[in-house]
Amino acid sequence: MRYFITGTAGFIGFHLARKLLQDGHEVVGFDGMTAYYSLRLKEARNAGLAQFPSFRFVQGMLEDRALLEGAVKGFNPDVIVHLAAQAGVRYSLENPKAYLDSNLIGSWNILEIAREVGVGHLMLASTSSVYGANPGIPFRETDKADEPLTFYAASKKSMEVMAHSYAHLYKVPTTAFRFFTVYGPWGRPDMALFKFVKAMLDDQEIEIYGEGKMSRDFTYIDDLVDSIIDLSMVAPSESNRVADIDTLSEQGPFRTVNLGGGQPVGLLDFIEVIEKTMGKPARRKMLPMQKGDVPRTFASPDLLLALTGRKPETGLDEGVDAFVRWYMEHRSEID
């Protein structure tokens, strides 16, 4: 199959593209190579994908409609996976316009192009942040998600709503999948695991927000990629509606799906796993909850399991160990 993926120099896009290429698919990657974090890391990911003859890379911003349109139409993909976005919850407090440009205008360009080419399945990366401070656990796709706590979350929920309208108007089968704290090798430097490991190796304090009382539903990257690929084969339609728990719209081929295992871990327990893996204690600096943070995330994986037959299962010990080993091997190349 032919996959067009935005964000292939990013953490998740790199892993997804590499797995698809290893499995014999064709991939065109599109990425803006922005300086939100280390370009050396993005370039190293890109170099890994460039080794595959069935991979082609196009550098450009999502807001560049003509370039994006030419890249998609010249490839005629079976599936579009839109992962590129301005990421980061806290950064959205500093530079909200970056989220407006990428996550709204850029995503609208993707919707328009998907409509024009009549793609078989449009897949959009959303986030567990859309649930805000949802009091009910686990978070189910049928829960209300109309009270985002950050502009990042608001931009992702807005993308979902725009996509629903396009699915209704133009019948483009669309799946919006909501990530839950993804981690693993080649991860982003602004994520907790990367920051904690780097600080501990440098004998610096790690900053623990919310006095360590928060919990997160951590999802290992390989599990996430498997889930995305599994879902790519299940374009929303009445033929695969799941009774009682489905979010398949009555108005068009649109569905939201959680990508999480439903196994939340407390932040202090997470840190203990890192300490055990690294064989040294962390110097801890306790800080209050940051603006926009939520106390917990907790995915219900029931819909994902019903649609694909599996859900994320990798244990935290295994996943953290894989990240630490990767970081130790590549540190000199990416710091």
pLDDT tens digits, one per residue of 99-135: 888 889 999 999 999 999 999 999 999 999 999 988 8
User: Has residue 287 been placed in a domain?
Assistant: no
pTM above 0.85, yes or no: yes
Q: What is the rounded average pLDDT of the residues 1-22?
A: 98
Domain carrying residue 162: 2-180+219-260+299-312
Domain count, the chain: 1
pLDDT tens digits, residue range 274-313?
999 999 999 999 999 888 888 999 999 999 999 999 999 9
User: Has residue 334 been placed in a domain?
Assistant: no
Stated length of the chain: 335
Is 152 marked active-site?
A: yes
User: Has residue 232 been placed in a domain?
Assistant: yes
User: Has residue 131 been placed in a domain?
Assistant: yes
Between residues 278 and 36, which one has the greater pLDDT? Answer: 278
Name the pLDDT band for 88 (thresholds 50, 70, 90): low
Say which residues have a Cβ less than 8 Å from residue 3's Cβ, sequence separation at least 6.
Answer: 17, 20, 25, 26, 27, 28, 77, 78, 79, 80, 81, 232
In this prediction, residue 133 carries a pLDDT of: 87
Say which residues have a Cβ less than 8 Å from residue 131's Cβ, sequence separation at least 6.
Answer: 139, 143, 145, 178, 294, 297
User: Has residue 203 been placed in a domain?
Assistant: no
Say how many C-beta atoms besides its own lie within 10 A of residue 186's C-beta.
22
User: Has residue 18 been placed in a domain?
Assistant: yes
Q: Which of 36, 152, 183, 327 is catalytic?
A: 152
User: Has residue 196 been placed in a domain?
Assistant: no
Residue 335 predicted with pLDDT over 90 = no
Say how many C-beta atoms besides its own lie within 10 A of residue 233's C-beta.
11
User: Has residue 21 been placed in a domain?
Assistant: yes
The CATH number for 33's domain is: 3.40.50.720
Q: Which of 7, 152, 182 is nearest to 87 (CA)?
A: 152
CA distance 35 to 214: 29
pLDDT tens digits, residue range 228-274?
999 999 999 999 999 999 999 999 999 999 999 999 999 999 999 99
CA distance 208 to 220: 21
- Burial class for 66, CB neighbours closer than 10 Å (0-12, 13-18, 19+): exposed
CA distance 99 to 35: 14
Q: Are strands 121-127 and 215-216 parallel, antiparallel or unpaired?
A: unpaired
Q: Are strands 215-216 and 265-266 parallel, antiparallel or unpaired?
A: antiparallel
